[in-house]
């Protein structure tokens, strides 16, 4: 069921005065419980078969709506005008990654020459690796090449894998990959320091986790990307080097059509009109920004806004959609007893696969030490580990692998993992420290109940924090989704002695 966003005329007028563009005021909406068959969105039969091989039987709401819109706009692809941009807001775990991976693979699989045509920008290395694995699964059977740039290896190693030659400059650039997945910082390194690395052939720019990326400048990465897709004006064309064939003839098709006039002194005829770059921008986020300044900085062309959210005609408050199979609870507790409440949840829920979020890396470490001491003293078969930004990429990758294999029961983490990491095995999410903002809450709880599964999310709220937390939930129009969890105090008292003993042991260690 697809609906239109219903807001009163008065509300819309107020938002217009705030500078919010018209297209963002009334998005095309689809409810998160919708789905469709694999062959109904316009993908090629071969890619549909690949989806089936990967165990997919249907598409979720975001894929059902976004893929046809993506393909429809590319049908009218013309090098003289951009096909129009897409902005997508959908809950975590709803399948946003596949919504852009599949149409990009489908469109680029028809290409004849390797050029860098798709760029996906992500905020963390872990997300880059995850999205790379998704692309790898669906480019099988094609000759598309997927690369990454995240600073895991030296710059020279990445340069070799992305462009090959760096000793001679080619105006058309060189590329050994069709699709590049990168963090903004490392992408900036290549734009500044990698000879022959060019975005002049780019057709797709995907900004995933858009709100997080737009909130952090990363050396003004967005403006640099957009400028790199535009031909330079008043360029000195003397002394330019072009790739030539064995007979010394310039292979001018190595230069993007929109860049030809900046590289060659060509006569312009009536049938050879100047061509404009046609980069399609796609923004994906669970909480898409409505900041007019940030939106203007994207320089969107004919944008379409697609929002996956519950159809709620009774309120115009901001909507934060969570997966349908998610149950959300809050526990109010005194500050001094908060670790004991967490221990109670460990026993009560018999956690086999859970994430526990704290407010900082230091809090993560301290809580893990306490729980490890408790588990050891009580001889419990529970493996509790820390996952934080202090760990090296190889260590984080190893922990994620063990978690997916069921070797880790509870992973205590900072918000490094709170956005985008696809752990489909998570049964329980616990916010040990209350998130200060609704966006962070949504991203945390969205680590469970992914891809149609069920899951539970618990937030431990200290007594003095209860008012703020409940007000945040209320303003977000999310009160109905949150239930109060009642603790059996008599049962919890049975864990008190073990908790105090573990607390004493860790205090001595400190």
Statement: residue 423 has pLDDT above 60: yes
Q: Specify whether 197 is located in the same domain as 346.
A: no
Q: How far apart are alpha carbons 246 and 136 in whole angstroms?
A: 34
pLDDT digits (tens, 9 = 90+) for 348-405: 999 999 999 998 788 889 999 999 999 999 999 999 999 887 788 788 889 989 999 9
Q: In total, how many domains does the chain have?
A: 2
- pLDDT for the residue 313: 39
Q: Specify whether 151 is located in the same domain as 212.
A: yes
Domain membership of residue 313 (yes or no) is no
Length of the chain in residues, anyone?
510
pLDDT digits (tens, 9 = 90+) for 250-273: 443 467 666 655 555 555 544 444
Domain membership of residue 242 (yes or no) is no
Domain membership of residue 437 (yes or no) is yes
Tokens at 356, concatenated: 């526990």
Instruction: Evaluate whether 12 touches 290 at the Cβ level (below 8 Å).
Output: no
Considering only CA atoms, which of 326, 303, 285, 286 is closest in space to residue 480? 326
Domain membership of residue 314 (yes or no) is no
Backbone angles phi, psi at 202, to 5 degrees: -65, 135
Q: Specify whether 302 is located in the same domain as 330.
A: no
Domain membership of residue 394 (yes or no) is yes
The DSSP H or E segment spanning 287 is none
Give the CATH number of the domain where residue 300 resides.
3.40.50.300
- pLDDT for the residue 262: 54
The model's pTM: 0.71
Q: How far apart are alpha carbons 500 and 510 in whole angstroms?
A: 15
SS3 360: coil
User: How far is CA 18 from each of CA 116, 290, 296, 306, 369, rounded to the nearest angstrom?
Assistant: 38, 10, 13, 21, 48
Q: Specify whether 490 is located in the same domain as 456.
A: yes
Statement: residue 162 has pLDDT above 70: yes
What is the CA angle 277-282-286, rounded to 5? 165
pLDDT digits (tens, 9 = 90+) for 182-236: 999 999 999 999 999 999 999 999 999 888 888 776 678 888 898 998 876 555 5
Question: Buried b vs exposed e over 272-283: b needs ≥16 C-beta within 10 Å?
Answer: eeebebbbbbbb
- pLDDT for the residue 274: 47
What is the CA angle 506-507-508, rounded to 5? 90
Average of per-residue pLDDT values in the chain: 83
Domain membership of residue 303 (yes or no) is yes
45: containing domain:
2-233+250-262+272-308
Tokens at 328, concatenated: 């959300």
- pLDDT for the residue 233: 58
- pLDDT for the residue 269: 47
Q: Specify whether 113 is located in the same domain as 76.
A: yes
């Amino acid at each position: 069921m697809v609906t239109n966003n219903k807001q009163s005329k008065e509300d819309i007028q107020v938002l217009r005065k705030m500078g919010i563009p018209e297209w963002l005021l009334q998005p095309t909406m689809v409810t998160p419980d919708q789905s469709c068959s694999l062959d109904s969105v316009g993908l090629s039969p071969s890619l549909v078969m690949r989806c089936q091989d990967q165990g997919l039987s249907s598409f979720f709401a975001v894929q059902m709506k976004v893929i046809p819109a993506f393909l429809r706009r590319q049908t009218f692809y013309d090098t003289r005008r951009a096909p129009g941009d897409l902005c997508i807001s959908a809950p975590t775990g709803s399948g946003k990654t596949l919504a852009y991976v599949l149409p990009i693979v489908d469109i680029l699989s028809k290409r004849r020459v390797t050029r860098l045509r798709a760029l996906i920008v992500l905020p963390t290395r872990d997300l880059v690796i995850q999205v790379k694995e998704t692309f790898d699964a669906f480019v099988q059977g094609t000759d598309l090449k997927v690369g990454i740039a995240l600073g895991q290896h030296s710059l020279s190693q990445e340069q070799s894998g992305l462009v090959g030659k760096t000793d001679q400059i080619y105006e058309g650039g060189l590329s050994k990959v069709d699709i590049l997945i990168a963090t903004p910082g490392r992408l900036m390194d290549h734009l500044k320091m990698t000879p022959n690395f060019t975005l002049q052939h780019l057709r797709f720019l995907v900004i995933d986790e858009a709100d997080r990326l737009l909130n952090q400048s990363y050396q003004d990465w967005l403006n640099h990307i957009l400028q790199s897709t535009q031909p330079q004006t008043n360029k000195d064309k003397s002394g330019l080097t072009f790739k030539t064939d064995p007979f010394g003839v310039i292979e001018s098709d190595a230069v993007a059509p929109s860049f030809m006039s900046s590289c060659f002194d060509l006569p312009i005829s009536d049938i050879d009109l100047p061509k404009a770059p046609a980069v399609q921008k796609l923004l994906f986020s669970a909480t898409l920004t409505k900041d007019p300044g940030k939106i203007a900085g994207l320089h969107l062309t004919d944008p379409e806004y697609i929002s996956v959210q519950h159809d709620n005609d009774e309120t115009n408050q901001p909507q934060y959609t969570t997966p349908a199979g998610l149950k959300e609870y809050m526990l109010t507790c005194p500050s001094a007893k908060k670790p004991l409440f967490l221990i109670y949840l460990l026993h009560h829920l018999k956690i086999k696969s859970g994430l526990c979020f704290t407010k900082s890396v230091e809090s993560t470490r301290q809580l893990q030490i306490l729980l490890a001491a408790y588990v050891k003293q009580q001889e419990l078969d529970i493996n509790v580990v820390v996952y934080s930004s202090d760990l090296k990429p190889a260590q984080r990758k190893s922990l994620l692998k063990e978690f997916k294999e069921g070797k880790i029961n509870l992973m205590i983490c900072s918000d490094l993992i709170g956005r985008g990491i696809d752990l489909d095995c998570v049964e329980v999410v616990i916010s040990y420290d209350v998130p200060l903002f609704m966006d962070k809450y949504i991203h945390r709880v969205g680590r469970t109940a992914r891809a149609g599964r069920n899951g539970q999310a618990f937030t431990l709220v200290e007594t003095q924090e209860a008012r703020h937390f409940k007000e945040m939930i209320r303003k977000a129009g999310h009160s109905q989704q949150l239930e109060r969890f009642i603790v059996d105090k008599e049962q919890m008292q049975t864990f008190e002695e073990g908790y105090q003993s573990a607390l004493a042991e860790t205090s001595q260690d400190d």
